Structure 1
Amino acid sequence: MGGSGKIEFANTLRGIAALSVIVAHYFDVYWTSPVTVSALTNAPLLNHQEIPVFVSAIQLFKYLNLNYGAFGVGLFFLVSGFVIPISLERKGVADFIVNRVLRIFPTYVVGFGITLLALLLSCYYFDVSWMYSRDEVLIHFIPGLRDLLWSRNIDGIVWTLEVELKFYIICALFVTLFKRGSISVFVIPVFIALIGAYASIVLPEYGESNAWLYIKLLTFIYPAKFIVFMFLGVVLYYYHSGKMSLLKTSLVSIGCFSLFAAMWVHGPEKNTATLVYSYAMALTFFVFAMVWPTCFQSNRITDFLASISYPLYVIHGVAGYVVLRILFDLGVAPLVSLFAVVVMALYISWVIHICVENPSQRLAKCLFRKKVLPLVSEFPQQIKQQTPPPPR
């Protein structure tokens, strides 16, 4: 543990994950996927005639089939799976839920607002029409609604928050098992995988006969495999805290990853199943960090990246693409453009962290320190104590 009470290697991995996602989007996707960038920014399609040498050098790992973005997201999911049981052991359900809500929603609302401003800038600069309806925008402000209502993904990153929220809900529902440190929690990913497998089997049938049910099945199948993957973080926490032996940890880990991979390979997104390799590399990297934590001790760079990792993740994508696209159109050199956009993303994320994320977390701690919200969990017991016994 670090001085702040955080597990140092996990906090360092959060910073590495943020850096990995930045590299994926600014040094890969922007240059190699112009159609994707055009769709996200509503800017005219731009095909890069020549990719800068320094960008090509960073892309060398792609020849090893490593996707930086999937690797970074995999690390984020594993860190969440690892630390959530700690929160559940220390807090009540109400405390946990309020803490998660105040951590995710205020920062995301501000970050998504910045994404919308960037899209407005793109529409103004390139003289194009606004492309989203009012309902699509409003729905997007509340992570967890978009996929349920089958609305378009505007910022390209909200899907990961939707997965996280579903994972949090599942953990809260089975809080008793987590507090006991019971290995029965690993029946949950098996159950999810079985439902996902059945949904994938019947999916083609409903695609032709029942569009509503088809959409609902897809809404379950897509995040289900990532929730199973997040339970790998729980497995590793159980081992780290002495709740499971090395043998049990190895067997459960192999089982969970096999379910995750099978759900992807045999699911409706099997055309992207090569990304399983990048998630496997994220798992390997996480295990390495857990076994040799001295290699991942706290330092200023990773601590800074870890502290701003969430706002950075929220705002860097579309806003960064828009600014890069405009700078490219103005003839600014690629190296200068990338440097400017990275600095911009880091600075805005730091401001959001200081002005929004930190105050939100302090509010959550203040509410429970003053015993405002624990009364909710104590209320049933108070009623029981105050209710007179029934007449004999």
Structure 2
Amino acid sequence: MNTQRKVESLSFLRALAVLMVCFCHFGQPFNEGNAFAGTFNAFHEYGKYGVQVFFVISGFVIPLSLDKGRYQLEHYGKFLLKRLIRLHPPYLIALGITLVVLALSTAVKHIAFPETTWSVFLSLFYLHHPDSNPVFWTLKVEAEYYLFIGLFFVLLQKYQRLTLAVSIPLFMLLSQTAVVNYIDLFSHLLYFMIGIIGYVMYMKGGKNWLEAGYITAIVAFTYLFDGAAPTIAATFTILVIMLYTGKVHKSFDFLGEISYSVYLLHFPLGIKLINLAGRYVKPQYDIALFVFTVLFCLGVGYVFWKYIERPFSERSNRIKYAPRKTVQMEVAAAA
């Protein structure tokens, strides 16, 4: 299998995931009192499972990028630095915007600002998230995943069969213990594992009956303990990654590219917009306000991506695990 080709479906899945999350949060204010209340309620009920889509994508993409970069354990520090530069500055700026919006809102309402110096300090390290931007909870899970995958990937490369055979039942067990109260990742790690196993199947490019059995076991487990909806979202994601090999429309490429920026800002900006405009919009026009709010957040997300996220992403990409000449020599030797 040509593992250098772009996995086109990832753009579509990122776009789908961020739209699901937006629909979830923007649907709630409209889930009664209008002709589309049932639809908005469904958005709110099922859109939240876009988070599982993101988790499976991360499970697949990060090992794939480590593999392409010829990652070794000695590069663990560089890997974490790359992720830090890529994701943390945009998060901090989004956190600042969130706190400014919250401060303005509380000032207008003449109520006390709910955050403290300590809670803001904890938020800098994902240890707290303001109620005015609840989606930040997933960033802590992702950060814990990066700490995990930089080590787990090395075991996976050296002892693939043993690592999967031991880790999957272990992670199933841990997900049902009190450890989840201390390390959030273990509540969601099985969804990342679906993506990780998908990466193994992708790299092998041949018969993957054992790995397919592992995914089936995880799917059965998450269905039993987490329910149908998140399991269906995760299963759909890995099936699209593994089976779809065509192109995606450039609009999905665009939405997938800006998905992180939209995710960071959509809640505080979108919900405030709905609350303000909702005072003047009649219920029969709720659908128009909903669509406008989604488009507004996509526009803000694009601006944030262009001037904030993309520059830090480019800086992150400049950090290499090994000098280019060394990698080229290794490839030539392998050939």
TM-score (norm 1): 0.72
Is it true that 1:305 corresponds to 2:255 in the alignment? Answer: yes
Equivalent position of 2:320 in the other structure: 368
Equivalent position of 2:16 in the other structure: 16
Identity fraction in percent? 22
- The 3 A distance-change label for structure 1 pair 176 and 243 is farther
Unaligned runs of 5+ in 1: 33-47, 200-215, 266-272, 375-392
Larger Rg: 1 or 2? 1
Equivalent position of 2:276 in the other structure: 326
Q: Distance in 2 between matches of 1:304 and 1:233?
A: 23
Is the Cα contact below 8 Å between 1:87 and 1:96 reproduced in 2? no
Structure 1 residues 132-147: aligned runs within 5 Å: 132-143=115-126, 145-146=127-128
Q: Which amino acid aligns with 1:353?
A: W
Equivalent position of 1:270 in the other structure: none
Q: Distance in 2 between matches of 1:116 and 1:309?
A: 21
Match of 1:53 among 10, 21, 35: 35
Q: Which amino acid aligns with 1:31?
A: F
Match of 1:157 among 111, 135, 139: 135
Q: Which amino acid aligns with 1:53?
A: A
Structure 1 residues 189-200: aligned runs within 5 Å: 189-199=168-178
Q: Distance in 2 between matches of 1:125 and 1:336?
A: 26
Q: Distance in 1 between matches of 2:137 and 2:48?
A: 13
Q: Distance in 1 between matches of 2:39 and 2:172?
A: 39
- The 3 A distance-change label for structure 1 pair 162 and 25 is same
Is the Cα contact below 8 Å between 1:316 and 1:345 reproduced in 2? yes
What is the aligned residue count?
A: 315
- The 3 A distance-change label for structure 1 pair 184 and 53 is farther
CA offset digits 1:3-22 (Å, max 9, x no partner)? x9531012211111111111
Equivalent position of 1:347 in the other structure: 299
Shift of the alpha carbon at 1:261?
A: 4.7
Q: Distance in 2 between matches of 1:6 and 1:133?
A: 45
Unaligned runs of 5+ in 2: 327-335
Q: Distance in 2 between matches of 1:189 and 1:152?
A: 33
- The 3 A distance-change label for structure 1 pair 136 and 61 is closer
CA offset digits 1:319-341 (Å, max 9, x no partner)? 21112111113446424432332
Is the Cα contact below 8 Å between 1:103 and 1:357 reproduced in 2? yes
CA offset digits 1:140-198 (Å, max 9, x no partner)? 1222x33xxxx765521122111111111111122322334713332334323333434
Shift of the alpha carbon at 1:73?
A: 0.9
Q: CA RMSD in A?
A: 2.9
Equivalent position of 2:233 in the other structure: 282
Structure 1 residues 1-392: aligned runs within 5 Å: 6-27=6-27, 29-32=28-31, 50=33, 52-57=34-39, 59=41, 67-70=46-49, 72-91=50-69, 92=71, 93-143=76-126, 145-146=127-128, 154-180=132-158, 182-186=160-164, 187-199=166-178, 218-220=181-183, 222-242=184-204, 245-261=207-223, 265=225, 273=226, 276-294=227-245, 297-331=247-281, 333-368=285-320
CA offset digits 1:284-303 (Å, max 9, x no partner)? 32244235415x62212111
Q: Which amino acid aligns with 1:21?
A: V
